Amino acid sequence: MPPTSRAPFRLDQLLERRDTLYDNLRDLRFEFRSGKYSEGDFEAMKASLENEAALVLAEIDQITESQVRRPRGVRLSPPDEV
């Protein structure tokens, strides 16, 4: 199975993971403001979530770029002038 055929499924997984990470960051901030975590614990957990989000976003970019990029050797010709 070519890698491009798995890309839409992988992209869906990554988008879902991204959304979950954003939700987790929002919840973490709320819980920190509520006094559930110390500043040190908050910063450590936040950094971990942000690092994972950065990796997920990079992979999303890689997949979406490869879907937009045209194959090697294909040139777009201007339309014939009339």
Higher-scoring residue by pLDDT: 76, 54 = 54
Q: Is the pLDDT of residue 1 over 50?
A: no
pTM, two decimals, is 0.72
Q: What is the separation, in whole angstroms, between the first and last Cα of the chain?
A: 44
User: Which are the contacts of 55, defined by CB distance < 8 A and separation ≥ 6?
Assistant: none
Q: What is the pLDDT of residue 73?
A: 56
Ordered alpha helix ranges (H), 1-82: 3-33, 39-68
77 pLDDT band (50/70/90 cuts)? low
**How do residues 7-41 score in pLDDT, each as one tens digit?**
789 999 999 999 999 999 999 999 999 999 999 99
